[in-house]
Structure 1
Amino acid sequence: MTAPPTPETVEVEFIAPRHLAGGGDPAWITVPLHRACGWSYGHDPLMPRVILSSPDQKALLRLEPAPGRQWWTLHHTSGRDRPAWYASFGARTPVEIIAGFTDALTDPASTAPVADPYEPLHRANWTSISTGAPGLVSPDGKAMLQRTDDEGAWFATAALGESRPLWQARFGDHTPARLIAAFTAALADPHPVPRTGSPYSLPTRNPSLVTSTVREVPAVQVASALEERVHALAARRADPPVNPSALRRPPTRNGHTR
Protein backbone atom coordinates (compact mmCIF):
# COMPACT_ATOMS: atom_id res chain seq x y z
CA MET A 1 0.00 0.00 0.00
CA THR A 2 1.24 3.46 -0.84
CA ALA A 3 0.54 6.50 1.30
CA PRO A 4 -2.18 8.79 -0.09
CA PRO A 5 -0.79 11.65 -2.14
CA THR A 6 -0.50 15.08 -0.60
CA PRO A 7 -2.10 18.12 -2.31
CA GLU A 8 1.33 18.85 -3.81
CA THR A 9 1.71 15.39 -5.36
CA VAL A 10 -0.16 13.14 -7.78
CA GLU A 11 -0.18 9.36 -7.68
CA VAL A 12 1.18 8.12 -11.01
CA GLU A 13 1.33 4.50 -12.09
CA PHE A 14 4.15 3.55 -14.46
CA ILE A 15 3.26 0.57 -16.67
CA ALA A 16 5.44 -1.77 -18.73
CA PRO A 17 5.31 -3.17 -21.33
CA ARG A 18 3.70 -0.15 -22.88
CA HIS A 19 1.58 -2.10 -25.37
CA LEU A 20 -0.51 -3.25 -22.37
CA ALA A 21 -0.84 0.20 -20.78
CA GLY A 22 -4.12 1.30 -22.35
CA GLY A 23 -4.79 4.37 -24.45
CA GLY A 24 -3.78 7.27 -22.20
CA ASP A 25 -4.66 10.92 -22.77
CA PRO A 26 -5.40 11.84 -26.44
CA ALA A 27 -4.14 15.38 -25.73
CA TRP A 28 -0.62 13.93 -25.82
CA ILE A 29 -1.10 13.84 -29.60
CA THR A 30 -3.73 16.45 -30.45
CA VAL A 31 -2.34 19.40 -28.47
CA PRO A 32 1.23 19.23 -29.89
CA LEU A 33 -0.10 18.79 -33.42
CA HIS A 34 -2.08 22.01 -33.01
CA ARG A 35 0.27 24.15 -30.94
CA ALA A 36 3.71 22.91 -32.02
CA CYS A 37 3.09 21.75 -35.57
CA GLY A 38 0.48 24.20 -36.78
CA TRP A 39 -2.35 21.74 -37.46
CA SER A 40 -5.73 23.43 -37.46
CA TYR A 41 -8.86 22.01 -35.97
CA GLY A 42 -12.56 22.50 -36.10
CA HIS A 43 -15.23 20.75 -34.14
CA ASP A 44 -18.92 20.48 -33.59
CA PRO A 45 -19.50 20.80 -29.82
CA LEU A 46 -22.37 18.34 -30.15
CA MET A 47 -20.12 15.62 -31.61
CA PRO A 48 -17.48 13.74 -29.55
CA ARG A 49 -14.76 13.94 -32.18
CA VAL A 50 -11.62 15.87 -33.08
CA ILE A 51 -10.53 16.66 -36.65
CA LEU A 52 -7.07 18.12 -37.29
CA SER A 53 -5.60 19.10 -40.66
CA SER A 54 -1.95 19.72 -41.47
CA PRO A 55 -0.75 23.18 -42.55
CA ASP A 56 -0.31 22.00 -46.16
CA GLN A 57 -3.80 20.41 -46.07
CA LYS A 58 -2.34 17.07 -47.18
CA ALA A 59 -3.03 15.15 -43.97
CA LEU A 60 -6.23 14.84 -41.97
CA LEU A 61 -6.36 13.21 -38.53
CA ARG A 62 -9.73 12.19 -37.12
CA LEU A 63 -10.31 11.03 -33.55
CA GLU A 64 -13.83 9.71 -33.23
CA PRO A 65 -15.29 7.23 -30.73
CA ALA A 66 -16.93 4.54 -32.82
CA PRO A 67 -17.71 1.13 -31.31
CA GLY A 68 -16.10 -1.66 -33.28
CA ARG A 69 -13.99 0.71 -35.41
CA GLN A 70 -10.60 2.36 -35.27
CA TRP A 71 -10.81 5.55 -33.19
CA TRP A 72 -7.77 7.30 -34.72
CA THR A 73 -7.58 7.61 -38.52
CA LEU A 74 -5.03 9.59 -40.51
CA HIS A 75 -5.44 10.06 -44.27
CA HIS A 76 -2.69 11.57 -46.42
CA THR A 77 -3.22 12.71 -50.00
CA SER A 78 -1.10 11.50 -52.87
CA GLY A 79 2.19 13.22 -53.67
CA ARG A 80 4.56 13.49 -56.60
CA ASP A 81 6.21 10.15 -55.81
CA ARG A 82 3.65 8.39 -53.57
CA PRO A 83 -0.04 7.45 -53.83
CA ALA A 84 -2.43 8.40 -51.05
CA TRP A 85 -2.02 6.43 -47.83
CA TYR A 86 -3.62 6.00 -44.43
CA ALA A 87 -2.89 4.87 -40.88
CA SER A 88 -5.38 4.02 -38.16
CA PHE A 89 -5.22 3.07 -34.49
CA GLY A 90 -7.63 1.43 -32.06
CA ALA A 91 -8.95 3.17 -28.96
CA ARG A 92 -6.57 1.37 -26.59
CA THR A 93 -3.45 1.98 -28.65
CA PRO A 94 -1.13 3.79 -26.20
CA VAL A 95 -0.80 7.44 -27.18
CA GLU A 96 2.97 7.28 -26.65
CA ILE A 97 3.19 4.73 -29.46
CA ILE A 98 0.92 6.70 -31.80
CA ALA A 99 3.04 9.78 -31.01
CA GLY A 100 6.10 8.01 -32.39
CA PHE A 101 4.29 7.97 -35.73
CA THR A 102 2.88 11.52 -35.65
CA ASP A 103 6.14 13.02 -34.34
CA ALA A 104 8.03 11.49 -37.28
CA LEU A 105 5.35 12.66 -39.71
CA THR A 106 5.63 16.28 -38.53
CA ASP A 107 9.41 16.44 -38.12
CA PRO A 108 10.53 19.18 -40.55
CA ALA A 109 14.17 18.05 -40.42
CA SER A 110 13.51 14.40 -41.13
CA THR A 111 15.87 13.14 -43.82
CA ALA A 112 15.78 9.51 -42.75
CA PRO A 113 16.14 7.05 -45.61
CA VAL A 114 13.60 4.30 -46.13
CA ALA A 115 13.71 2.38 -42.85
CA ASP A 116 12.90 -1.20 -41.99
CA PRO A 117 9.93 -1.34 -39.56
CA TYR A 118 11.20 -4.69 -38.30
CA GLU A 119 14.60 -3.33 -37.24
CA PRO A 120 13.55 -1.75 -33.89
CA LEU A 121 11.73 -4.96 -33.02
CA HIS A 122 14.72 -7.16 -33.83
CA ARG A 123 16.80 -5.01 -31.50
CA ALA A 124 14.17 -5.55 -28.77
CA ASN A 125 14.35 -9.35 -29.20
CA TRP A 126 11.06 -9.82 -31.00
CA THR A 127 10.97 -13.17 -32.79
CA SER A 128 9.51 -14.50 -36.03
CA ILE A 129 5.89 -15.63 -36.11
CA SER A 130 5.75 -19.35 -36.83
CA THR A 131 2.35 -19.41 -38.54
CA GLY A 132 0.18 -17.07 -40.58
CA ALA A 133 1.35 -13.87 -42.25
CA PRO A 134 5.05 -13.05 -41.95
CA GLY A 135 5.94 -10.89 -38.99
CA LEU A 136 7.38 -10.64 -35.50
CA VAL A 137 5.99 -11.24 -32.01
CA SER A 138 7.00 -9.52 -28.77
CA PRO A 139 8.91 -11.42 -26.05
CA ASP A 140 5.75 -11.65 -23.92
CA GLY A 141 3.72 -12.97 -26.86
CA LYS A 142 1.08 -10.23 -26.48
CA ALA A 143 1.95 -7.97 -29.44
CA MET A 144 2.68 -8.68 -33.11
CA LEU A 145 3.68 -6.84 -36.27
CA GLN A 146 2.65 -8.45 -39.55
CA ARG A 147 2.52 -7.62 -43.24
CA THR A 148 0.08 -9.13 -45.70
CA ASP A 149 2.84 -9.60 -48.31
CA ASP A 150 6.09 -7.98 -49.50
CA GLU A 151 4.26 -4.91 -50.81
CA GLY A 152 1.11 -4.98 -48.71
CA ALA A 153 -0.39 -3.34 -45.66
CA TRP A 154 1.10 -3.58 -42.18
CA PHE A 155 -0.79 -4.54 -39.01
CA ALA A 156 0.30 -4.21 -35.38
CA THR A 157 -1.88 -5.89 -32.79
CA ALA A 158 -1.94 -6.40 -29.03
CA ALA A 159 -4.10 -8.94 -27.20
CA LEU A 160 -4.34 -10.65 -23.84
CA GLY A 161 -5.43 -13.86 -25.58
CA GLU A 162 -7.13 -15.12 -28.72
CA SER A 163 -10.51 -13.90 -27.48
CA ARG A 164 -9.26 -10.74 -25.76
CA PRO A 165 -7.96 -8.28 -28.39
CA LEU A 166 -6.80 -4.90 -27.06
CA TRP A 167 -5.93 -2.77 -30.08
CA GLN A 168 -4.80 -2.83 -33.67
CA ALA A 169 -2.84 -0.34 -35.76
CA ARG A 170 -3.17 -0.48 -39.55
CA PHE A 171 -0.91 1.08 -42.16
CA GLY A 172 -1.90 1.19 -45.83
CA ASP A 173 0.29 -0.20 -48.60
CA HIS A 174 1.88 3.16 -49.40
CA THR A 175 2.49 4.44 -45.87
CA PRO A 176 6.14 5.62 -45.71
CA ALA A 177 8.27 2.91 -44.14
CA ARG A 178 10.16 5.44 -42.02
CA LEU A 179 6.90 6.39 -40.27
CA ILE A 180 6.03 2.77 -39.55
CA ALA A 181 9.58 2.30 -38.25
CA ALA A 182 9.07 5.26 -35.91
CA PHE A 183 5.89 3.58 -34.69
CA THR A 184 7.65 0.25 -34.09
CA ALA A 185 10.51 2.02 -32.29
CA ALA A 186 7.98 3.55 -29.90
CA LEU A 187 6.23 0.18 -29.61
CA ALA A 188 9.46 -1.59 -28.65
CA ASP A 189 10.64 1.13 -26.25
CA PRO A 190 11.18 -0.62 -22.90
CA HIS A 191 10.55 2.48 -20.79
CA PRO A 192 7.28 2.36 -18.81
CA VAL A 193 4.56 4.90 -19.54
CA PRO A 194 2.69 6.93 -16.91
CA ARG A 195 -0.99 6.55 -16.21
CA THR A 196 -3.16 8.49 -13.75
CA GLY A 197 -6.83 8.28 -12.90
CA SER A 198 -8.94 5.19 -12.42
CA PRO A 199 -6.95 1.94 -12.23
CA TYR A 200 -9.88 0.23 -13.95
CA SER A 201 -8.94 1.97 -17.21
CA LEU A 202 -5.95 -0.36 -17.55
CA PRO A 203 -6.47 -3.43 -19.77
CA THR A 204 -4.96 -5.70 -17.13
CA ARG A 205 -3.36 -5.57 -13.71
CA ASN A 206 -2.13 -9.16 -13.86
CA PRO A 207 1.38 -9.00 -12.33
CA SER A 208 2.51 -11.83 -14.58
CA LEU A 209 1.76 -9.65 -17.62
CA VAL A 210 2.57 -6.08 -16.57
CA THR A 211 4.98 -4.40 -14.22
CA SER A 212 3.33 -1.57 -12.29
CA THR A 213 5.19 0.95 -10.16
CA VAL A 214 3.23 3.60 -8.28
CA ARG A 215 4.99 6.84 -7.36
CA GLU A 216 4.00 10.16 -5.89
CA VAL A 217 5.04 12.77 -8.43
CA PRO A 218 4.97 16.53 -7.85
CA ALA A 219 1.70 17.87 -9.23
CA VAL A 220 3.51 20.66 -11.06
CA GLN A 221 5.64 18.07 -12.86
CA VAL A 222 2.57 16.15 -14.02
CA ALA A 223 0.87 19.36 -15.12
CA SER A 224 3.92 20.58 -17.07
CA ALA A 225 4.67 17.34 -18.95
CA LEU A 226 2.43 18.18 -21.90
CA GLU A 227 3.70 21.75 -22.09
CA GLU A 228 7.29 20.51 -22.17
CA ARG A 229 6.40 18.14 -24.98
CA VAL A 230 4.82 20.97 -26.98
CA HIS A 231 7.90 23.15 -26.66
CA ALA A 232 10.28 20.28 -27.46
CA LEU A 233 8.42 19.57 -30.71
CA ALA A 234 8.14 23.26 -31.55
CA ALA A 235 11.91 23.61 -31.15
CA ARG A 236 12.37 21.35 -34.19
CA ARG A 237 11.17 24.17 -36.40
CA ALA A 238 13.19 27.24 -37.37
CA ASP A 239 10.04 29.34 -37.11
CA PRO A 240 7.72 27.37 -34.79
CA PRO A 241 4.02 28.17 -35.12
CA VAL A 242 3.51 28.00 -31.36
CA ASN A 243 1.37 30.81 -30.00
CA PRO A 244 2.21 31.17 -26.27
CA SER A 245 -1.22 32.63 -25.64
CA ALA A 246 -2.98 29.71 -27.34
CA LEU A 247 -3.56 27.77 -24.17
CA ARG A 248 -6.85 26.37 -25.41
CA ARG A 249 -6.69 22.64 -26.08
CA PRO A 250 -8.31 20.89 -29.00
CA PRO A 251 -11.21 18.94 -27.48
CA THR A 252 -10.42 15.37 -26.47
CA ARG A 253 -12.51 12.39 -25.66
CA ASN A 254 -13.59 12.35 -22.00
CA GLY A 255 -12.44 9.65 -19.66
CA HIS A 256 -8.73 9.56 -20.45
CA THR A 257 -6.01 11.06 -18.31
CA ARG A 258 -2.31 10.79 -18.74
Structure 2
Amino acid sequence: MAPSARTARRPAAPVKQQGLGRGEQAEQHYLVQPRALAGGGDLRHVSEFLRACGWRDTSTPGGSASMQSPDRAVRVSYDPWALPGGWTIHGRAKGPEGEWSAHLGRQAPVEIVAGLTDALARPRSAHAPNVWAPLKDWHTRFQGGHYMATSPDGSAWMQYRQEADGSRLWWTGARDEQGNGWTGTFTPNTPMHLVQAFAAELASTEPVMRPHGRVPLSRQIRAWSVSVLPSQLRAWQQARITAARAATQAPSDARSIRPRTRARPYTPADVARARR
Protein backbone atom coordinates (compact mmCIF):
# COMPACT_ATOMS: atom_id res chain seq x y z
CA MET A 1 0.00 0.00 0.00
CA ALA A 2 1.30 3.48 -0.82
CA PRO A 3 2.18 5.64 2.17
CA SER A 4 0.03 8.47 3.43
CA ALA A 5 1.08 12.03 2.67
CA ARG A 6 2.06 12.55 6.29
CA THR A 7 4.40 9.57 6.18
CA ALA A 8 5.76 10.35 2.70
CA ARG A 9 6.67 13.90 3.66
CA ARG A 10 9.14 12.81 6.36
CA PRO A 11 12.41 14.67 5.55
CA ALA A 12 15.08 12.60 3.91
CA ALA A 13 18.75 13.43 3.53
CA PRO A 14 19.66 14.61 0.01
CA VAL A 15 21.20 11.91 -2.13
CA LYS A 16 24.22 12.79 -4.22
CA GLN A 17 24.00 10.82 -7.44
CA GLN A 18 27.13 10.15 -9.45
CA GLY A 19 27.17 10.24 -13.22
CA LEU A 20 23.84 12.06 -13.66
CA GLY A 21 25.09 15.61 -13.22
CA ARG A 22 28.56 16.93 -12.61
CA GLY A 23 28.71 18.18 -9.03
CA GLU A 24 24.91 18.31 -8.73
CA GLN A 25 23.04 17.58 -5.52
CA ALA A 26 19.78 15.65 -5.83
CA GLU A 27 16.66 17.28 -4.39
CA GLN A 28 13.74 15.59 -2.73
CA HIS A 29 10.41 15.72 -4.54
CA TYR A 30 7.22 13.67 -4.40
CA LEU A 31 5.02 12.00 -6.95
CA VAL A 32 1.44 12.64 -5.85
CA GLN A 33 -1.87 10.88 -6.55
CA PRO A 34 -4.63 11.72 -7.09
CA ARG A 35 -3.44 14.72 -9.05
CA ALA A 36 -6.63 16.69 -8.35
CA LEU A 37 -5.64 16.94 -4.66
CA ALA A 38 -1.94 17.71 -5.23
CA GLY A 39 -2.22 21.48 -4.66
CA GLY A 40 -1.55 24.36 -7.03
CA GLY A 41 2.05 23.83 -8.17
CA ASP A 42 4.38 26.08 -10.16
CA LEU A 43 2.54 28.74 -12.20
CA ARG A 44 5.29 28.62 -14.82
CA HIS A 45 3.92 25.26 -15.97
CA VAL A 46 1.09 27.30 -17.52
CA SER A 47 2.79 30.59 -18.35
CA GLU A 48 5.96 29.27 -20.00
CA PHE A 49 3.98 27.06 -22.38
CA LEU A 50 1.87 30.05 -23.45
CA ARG A 51 4.95 32.25 -23.77
CA ALA A 52 6.56 29.65 -26.05
CA CYS A 53 3.41 29.75 -28.18
CA GLY A 54 3.76 33.50 -28.72
CA TRP A 55 1.56 34.80 -25.92
CA ARG A 56 2.45 38.12 -24.29
CA ASP A 57 3.21 38.47 -20.59
CA THR A 58 1.00 41.30 -19.28
CA SER A 59 1.66 40.73 -15.56
CA THR A 60 1.94 43.73 -13.25
CA PRO A 61 4.70 44.03 -10.61
CA GLY A 62 3.33 42.89 -7.27
CA GLY A 63 -0.02 42.10 -8.84
CA SER A 64 -1.61 39.24 -10.68
CA ALA A 65 0.17 37.09 -13.26
CA SER A 66 -1.37 37.52 -16.70
CA MET A 67 -0.84 36.26 -20.25
CA GLN A 68 -2.58 37.53 -23.40
CA SER A 69 -3.06 35.68 -26.67
CA PRO A 70 -1.42 37.06 -29.83
CA ASP A 71 -4.80 38.20 -31.17
CA ARG A 72 -5.72 39.72 -27.78
CA ALA A 73 -8.91 37.66 -27.73
CA VAL A 74 -8.05 35.58 -24.65
CA ARG A 75 -6.47 36.46 -21.33
CA VAL A 76 -5.24 33.99 -18.71
CA SER A 77 -4.58 35.43 -15.25
CA TYR A 78 -3.79 34.23 -11.76
CA ASP A 79 -4.51 36.44 -8.73
CA PRO A 80 -3.30 35.16 -5.34
CA TRP A 81 -4.55 38.21 -3.45
CA ALA A 82 -8.20 38.61 -4.40
CA LEU A 83 -10.95 36.56 -2.77
CA PRO A 84 -11.55 33.82 -3.64
CA GLY A 85 -8.57 34.29 -5.98
CA GLY A 86 -7.09 31.80 -8.37
CA TRP A 87 -7.27 31.46 -12.14
CA THR A 88 -9.47 33.44 -14.53
CA ILE A 89 -9.55 32.62 -18.25
CA HIS A 90 -11.56 35.12 -20.26
CA GLY A 91 -12.22 34.97 -23.98
CA ARG A 92 -14.10 36.83 -26.67
CA ALA A 93 -15.77 34.34 -28.97
CA LYS A 94 -16.76 35.25 -32.50
CA GLY A 95 -20.42 35.11 -33.45
CA PRO A 96 -23.53 35.08 -31.24
CA GLU A 97 -21.89 33.32 -28.28
CA GLY A 98 -20.01 36.45 -27.24
CA GLU A 99 -17.69 36.39 -24.24
CA TRP A 100 -16.95 33.35 -22.10
CA SER A 101 -14.96 32.74 -18.94
CA ALA A 102 -13.64 30.06 -16.62
CA HIS A 103 -12.67 30.44 -12.96
CA LEU A 104 -10.53 27.91 -11.06
CA GLY A 105 -9.53 28.03 -7.40
CA ARG A 106 -6.01 28.66 -6.13
CA GLN A 107 -5.46 24.99 -5.27
CA ALA A 108 -6.37 23.76 -8.75
CA PRO A 109 -3.24 21.86 -9.90
CA VAL A 110 -1.39 23.65 -12.69
CA GLU A 111 -1.23 20.40 -14.67
CA ILE A 112 -5.04 20.34 -14.80
CA VAL A 113 -5.35 24.06 -15.52
CA ALA A 114 -2.89 23.54 -18.36
CA GLY A 115 -5.31 21.10 -19.98
CA LEU A 116 -7.43 24.14 -20.84
CA THR A 117 -4.70 26.74 -21.34
CA ASP A 118 -2.51 24.52 -23.54
CA ALA A 119 -5.54 23.92 -25.77
CA LEU A 120 -6.00 27.70 -26.10
CA ALA A 121 -2.62 27.94 -27.82
CA ARG A 122 -3.29 25.16 -30.34
CA PRO A 123 -5.57 25.12 -33.38
CA ARG A 124 -8.78 23.21 -32.81
CA SER A 125 -9.25 19.66 -33.98
CA ALA A 126 -11.75 18.98 -36.74
CA HIS A 127 -13.37 16.32 -34.53
CA ALA A 128 -16.51 17.24 -32.58
CA PRO A 129 -15.60 17.66 -28.90
CA ASN A 130 -17.14 15.45 -26.21
CA VAL A 131 -16.53 16.58 -22.62
CA TRP A 132 -17.61 13.24 -21.17
CA ALA A 133 -15.32 11.07 -23.30
CA PRO A 134 -12.27 11.46 -20.99
CA LEU A 135 -14.51 10.62 -18.02
CA LYS A 136 -15.73 7.27 -19.34
CA ASP A 137 -14.28 5.39 -16.34
CA TRP A 138 -15.91 7.73 -13.81
CA HIS A 139 -19.23 7.22 -12.05
CA THR A 140 -21.99 9.17 -13.83
CA ARG A 141 -25.53 10.07 -12.87
CA PHE A 142 -28.34 12.40 -13.97
CA GLN A 143 -30.32 14.08 -11.21
CA GLY A 144 -32.51 17.17 -11.02
CA GLY A 145 -31.47 18.45 -14.43
CA HIS A 146 -27.78 18.07 -13.58
CA TYR A 147 -25.43 15.57 -15.19
CA MET A 148 -22.43 14.67 -13.01
CA ALA A 149 -19.35 12.48 -13.35
CA THR A 150 -17.40 11.60 -10.19
CA SER A 151 -13.92 10.09 -10.00
CA PRO A 152 -13.67 6.49 -8.76
CA ASP A 153 -12.28 7.65 -5.39
CA GLY A 154 -15.01 10.29 -5.05
CA SER A 155 -12.58 13.20 -4.70
CA ALA A 156 -13.12 14.97 -8.05
CA TRP A 157 -16.15 15.80 -10.12
CA MET A 158 -17.37 17.40 -13.35
CA GLN A 159 -20.98 18.55 -13.56
CA TYR A 160 -23.17 20.30 -16.10
CA ARG A 161 -25.86 22.18 -14.16
CA GLN A 162 -29.21 23.35 -15.53
CA GLU A 163 -31.09 25.38 -12.95
CA ALA A 164 -34.86 25.87 -12.76
CA ASP A 165 -34.50 29.52 -13.86
CA GLY A 166 -32.86 28.37 -17.10
CA SER A 167 -29.30 29.28 -16.14
CA ARG A 168 -26.55 26.79 -16.95
CA LEU A 169 -22.90 26.29 -16.12
CA TRP A 170 -20.10 23.76 -15.85
CA TRP A 171 -19.06 23.06 -12.26
CA THR A 172 -15.92 21.12 -11.35
CA GLY A 173 -13.48 20.63 -8.50
CA ALA A 174 -11.95 18.26 -5.98
CA ARG A 175 -12.29 17.84 -2.19
CA ASP A 176 -10.75 15.51 0.35
CA GLU A 177 -12.52 14.13 3.41
CA GLN A 178 -11.53 17.21 5.43
CA GLY A 179 -13.08 19.57 2.88
CA ASN A 180 -9.76 20.84 1.51
CA GLY A 181 -9.54 21.37 -2.23
CA TRP A 182 -10.79 23.67 -4.96
CA THR A 183 -13.73 24.36 -7.24
CA GLY A 184 -14.12 25.82 -10.70
CA THR A 185 -16.83 27.06 -13.04
CA PHE A 186 -17.12 27.52 -16.80
CA THR A 187 -19.77 29.61 -18.49
CA PRO A 188 -22.00 27.44 -20.73
CA ASN A 189 -20.59 29.01 -23.90
CA THR A 190 -16.99 28.13 -23.05
CA PRO A 191 -15.71 26.38 -26.19
CA MET A 192 -16.37 22.68 -25.74
CA HIS A 193 -12.96 21.56 -26.92
CA LEU A 194 -11.41 23.55 -24.07
CA VAL A 195 -13.69 21.95 -21.48
CA GLN A 196 -12.86 18.52 -22.90
CA ALA A 197 -9.12 19.20 -22.72
CA PHE A 198 -9.55 20.27 -19.09
CA ALA A 199 -11.59 17.14 -18.31
CA ALA A 200 -8.89 14.94 -19.84
CA GLU A 201 -6.26 16.30 -17.42
CA LEU A 202 -8.70 16.15 -14.51
CA ALA A 203 -9.32 12.46 -15.20
CA SER A 204 -5.69 11.51 -15.82
CA THR A 205 -4.33 8.93 -13.38
CA GLU A 206 -0.72 10.03 -13.87
CA PRO A 207 0.82 11.41 -10.66
CA VAL A 208 2.19 14.93 -10.58
CA MET A 209 5.44 16.09 -8.98
CA ARG A 210 5.69 18.45 -6.02
CA PRO A 211 8.78 19.64 -4.12
CA HIS A 212 9.38 18.76 -0.50
CA GLY A 213 7.08 20.73 1.79
CA ARG A 214 4.46 21.34 -0.92
CA VAL A 215 2.40 18.15 -0.59
CA PRO A 216 -0.99 18.84 1.08
CA LEU A 217 -1.72 16.86 4.23
CA SER A 218 -4.59 14.50 3.43
CA ARG A 219 -5.34 10.85 4.14
CA GLN A 220 -6.57 10.56 0.54
CA ILE A 221 -3.20 11.49 -0.95
CA ARG A 222 -0.61 8.90 -1.91
CA ALA A 223 2.93 10.21 -2.28
CA TRP A 224 6.26 8.64 -3.24
CA SER A 225 9.59 10.23 -2.36
CA VAL A 226 11.94 10.68 -5.34
CA SER A 227 15.41 12.15 -5.84
CA VAL A 228 15.62 14.63 -8.73
CA LEU A 229 18.59 16.54 -10.10
CA PRO A 230 18.19 20.24 -10.98
CA SER A 231 19.39 19.44 -14.50
CA GLN A 232 16.57 16.91 -14.86
CA LEU A 233 13.98 19.51 -13.84
CA ARG A 234 15.42 21.98 -16.35
CA ALA A 235 15.42 19.33 -19.09
CA TRP A 236 11.77 18.45 -18.47
CA GLN A 237 10.79 22.12 -18.49
CA GLN A 238 12.69 22.70 -21.73
CA ALA A 239 11.05 19.65 -23.33
CA ARG A 240 7.63 21.16 -22.58
CA ILE A 241 8.64 24.49 -24.10
CA THR A 242 10.05 22.76 -27.18
CA ALA A 243 6.83 20.79 -27.54
CA ALA A 244 4.82 24.02 -27.27
CA ARG A 245 6.74 25.60 -30.14
CA ALA A 246 6.41 22.45 -32.25
CA ALA A 247 2.66 22.26 -31.59
CA THR A 248 2.21 25.91 -32.59
CA GLN A 249 4.03 25.40 -35.89
CA ALA A 250 2.54 22.00 -36.82
CA PRO A 251 -0.29 21.83 -39.38
CA SER A 252 -3.65 21.91 -37.67
CA ASP A 253 -5.00 18.98 -39.69
CA ALA A 254 -2.34 16.74 -38.12
CA ARG A 255 -3.56 17.35 -34.58
CA SER A 256 -5.93 15.35 -32.44
CA ILE A 257 -8.05 16.75 -29.61
CA ARG A 258 -5.27 16.03 -27.12
CA PRO A 259 -1.85 15.77 -28.74
CA ARG A 260 1.04 14.89 -26.46
CA THR A 261 2.53 18.36 -26.17
CA ARG A 262 2.89 18.03 -22.41
CA ALA A 263 6.28 16.67 -21.49
CA ARG A 264 6.16 13.96 -18.85
CA PRO A 265 7.67 15.36 -15.64
CA TYR A 266 9.45 12.09 -14.88
CA THR A 267 10.12 8.62 -16.24
CA PRO A 268 11.02 5.38 -14.45
CA ALA A 269 14.52 5.61 -15.96
CA ASP A 270 15.02 9.17 -14.69
CA VAL A 271 13.66 8.95 -11.17
CA ALA A 272 14.16 6.19 -8.62
CA ARG A 273 11.02 5.75 -6.55
CA ALA A 274 11.52 5.20 -2.84
CA ARG A 275 8.50 3.92 -0.98
CA ARG A 276 8.67 4.89 2.67
TM-score category, normalised to shorter length: 0.7 to 0.9
Task: Give the drift of 1:132.
Answer: 8.2
Q: CA deviation at 1:219?
A: 2.2
1:205 to partner: Cα distance: 3.9
Q: What is the TM-score with the length of structure 2 in the denominator? A: 0.76
Alignment of 1:1-258 (within 5 A): 2-6=12-16, 7-34=24-51, 36-45=52-61, 47-80=62-95, 82-108=97-123, 110-122=124-136, 124-128=137-141, 133-149=146-162, 152-161=168-177, 164-198=179-213, 201-206=214-219, 209-238=220-249
> Partner amino acid for 1:41?
D
Provide the secondary structure at the position in 2 that maps to 1:153: strand
RMSD, aligned CA: 2.3
User: Which secondary structure state, in structure 2, belongs to the residue aligned with residue 24 of structure 1?
Assistant: coil
CA 126–203 in structure 1, closer or farther in 2 if over 3 Å, else same:
farther
Query: Counterpart in 1 of 2:261?
Result: none
Matched-pair contact (CA < 8 Å) for 1:23–1:95: yes
Partner in structure 1 of residue 273 of structure 2? none
State which drifts further: 184-193 or 113-122. Answer: 113-122
More deviation in 181-190 or 218-227? 218-227
- 2:145–2:162 Cα contact (<8 Å) kept: no
- Tell me the CA shift for residue 43 of structure 1: 3.2
> How much does 1:130 deviate?
6.3
Aligned to 2:257: none
Q: Secondary structure at the match of 1:86?
A: strand
Aligned-residue offset at 1:125: 3.1
Residue pair 2:170, 2:185 contacting (<8 A) in 1 also: yes
Cα offsets for 1:134-157 (capped at 9, x unmatched):
211111111111111298210111
User: How far apart are 1:53 and its partner, in Å?
Assistant: 0.8
Q: Which runs of 5+ in 1 are unaligned?
A: 240-258
SS at match of 1:236: helix
Give the match for residue 245 of structure 1: none
Structure 2: any 5+ residue segments left out of the alignment? 1-9, 17-23, 251-276
Note closer, same or farther for the CA distance 1:211–1:112 as it changes in structure 2 (3 Å cut).
farther
Counterparts of 1:238 and 1:140 in 2: how far apart (Å)?
39
Q: CA–CA distance in 2 between the matches of 1:112 and 1:70?
A: 35
CA distance in 2, matches of 1:131, 1:195: 39
**SS of residue matched to 1:155:** strand
Partners in 2 of 1:129 and 1:67 — Cα distance? 34
Q: Deviations for 1:124-182, whole angstroms, at most 9, x for unmatched residues? A: 33333767832111111111111112982101111124x62411121111001111111
Give 1:68 shift: 3.3
Query: What amino acid sits opposite 1:111 in the alignment?
Result: S
Aligned partner letter, 1:85:
W
Q: Distance in 2 between matches of 1:132 and 1:238?
A: 42
* More displaced stretch, 150-159 vs 137-146: 150-159
- Aligned-pair identity in percent equals 30
Distance 1:118 1:70 in 2: 27
Q: Is the 8 A contact 1:166 1:203 kept in 2?
A: no
Following superposition, the deviation at residue 235 of structure 1 comes to 0.6
Letter of the structure 1 residue corresponding to residue 242 of structure 2: H
- The structure number with the bigger radius of gyration is 2
For the residue of structure 1 that corresponds to 2:248, the secondary structure is: coil
| Whole-Å separation in 2 of the counterparts to 1:157 and 1:225 | 27
- Give the aligned length: 230
Report the alpha carbon displacement of residue 220 of structure 1 after superposing the two structures with TM: 0.7
* Corresponding residue SS for 1:174: coil
